[in-house]
Structure 1
Amino acid sequence: MTVLTDVLRQSVVVFSQNYLPMSRVNIKRAIVLLVTGKAQALDYSTGNGWLVRSPSTSIHVPEHIRLTFGNSERLWKVPPVNRREVLRRDAHSCQYCGNNRHLTLDHVMPRSKGGLHTWDNVVTACEGCNSRKGDRTPLEAQMPLRTKPKSPMHPTVAFSEMFWHEYQIGE
């Protein structure tokens, strides 16, 4: 019985019609996509995957499947700059000292000096660092940023990057 439950815990990488890695799904969802013809196997030749049997049939579920339906890639808009999204991007930590308590938003280039409320100008900062930096740039305040602020990535691109790093062939 442990072999059965081990197989059901596996996940399958789903590619779009254009062969872009989109997501991971559990093996049950992959079986449904394969049986209904909404997906096709991508790696029959390697033999990787799992053989799943039922009383009436057996199916080979590969590690990678490609969707055979759907429209062109979904449209995605960059989310608006707001506290929740900036905190998520900055992993809920101050971008000056790394603290994760009493967080606020800080404009890297202060708005009084022409800084805009954009993804590449807003970072998470603790109250102490935000007041210490005040109305100055990080260079003027001698407070370097831990990471360069940037706008969020399209979810498919983010998953693709993670996927390709995970499956990167030896260096």
Structure 2
Amino acid sequence: MTQAKHLEPEVLRQTVVVFSQNYLPICRINIKRAIALLIAGRAEPLSYMGDRGWQVIAPRLVLFVPEHIRLTIGKTERLWRVPPVNRKEVLRRDNHTCQYCGSVKHLTLDHVLPRSKGGSHTWENVVTACERCNQSKGDRTPHEAGMTLRTKPKAPVHPTVAFAEQFWREQKGSHS
């Protein structure tokens, strides 16, 4: 006897953007969580964003779930600290990619300005590099070695800020 697969309606695979009380886009959640927030009165629809959304029909109610909701509850922001400069965090920031050639194999950390020349172990001076590029660069700056960085190294930003920046970039691109 074969077991029937439970098919989830397409609408339940949708996501909703959540804004804070002061209209900062903070995250994207699944529609089930959005429904729970709306029914509990912990969020409200954002109608100024347009009338796009989904109609959810349940046995006892019909609910319109918009693409964007705003939290109505006052919650203090959780304290977030810049993570320490270590292998795991630098690899995450650099998307597990060599910042010189783009390789994703045999990765190491490289000090852009070598420590022997006064370089510090900071977010702005440490990048992901493959073994080949790291050896090729040696104890020199990228300029001295004739190499260029793909991105300028910087400390990670708060996840909410990163989401907000991405959200507004996407909105700008969809309205061009």
Same fold (TM over 0.5): yes
Aligned to 2:20: 16
Query: Secondary structure, in 3 states, of the residue corresponding to 1:158?
Result: helix
Confirm or deny: 8 A CA contact 1:41 1:64 kept in the other structure. Answer: yes
Match of 1:34 among 33, 38, 45: 38
Deviation of residue 45 (structure 1)? 8.2
Give % identity: 67
| 1:97 aligned onto 2:101 | yes
Cα deviations by residue, 1:111-170 (Å, 9 ceiling, x for unpaired): 111111000100011111111211111111111111111111111111111111111253
Whole-angstrom CA distance in 2 between matches of 1:128 and 1:44: 53
| 1:130 aligned onto 2:134 | yes
Residue correspondence of structure 1 range 76-155 to structure 2 within 5 A = 76-155=80-159
RMSD (CA atoms): 1.8
Whole-angstrom CA distance in 2 between matches of 1:126 and 1:45: 45
Cα deviations by residue, 1:48-68 (Å, 9 ceiling, x for unpaired): 211212111111111111111
| 1:7 aligned onto 2:28 | no
Aligned residues: 169
| 1:166 aligned onto 2:175 | no
TM-score (norm 2): 0.89
**Residues 45 and 154 (structure 1), Cα distance of their counterparts in 2 relative to 1, 3 Å cut:** closer
Cα deviations by residue, 1:76-116 (Å, 9 ceiling, x for unpaired): 11111111111111121111112211110000011111111
Aligned to 2:61: 57
Confirm or deny: 8 A CA contact 1:43 1:63 kept in the other structure. Answer: no
Structure 2 stretches lacking a partner, 5+ long: 1-7
Query: Secondary structure, in 3 states, of the residue corresponding to 1:105?
Result: strand
Confirm or deny: 8 A CA contact 2:49 2:68 kept in the other structure. Answer: no
Aligned to 1:74: 78
Whole-angstrom CA distance in 2 between matches of 1:46 and 1:123: 42
TM-score (norm 1): 0.92
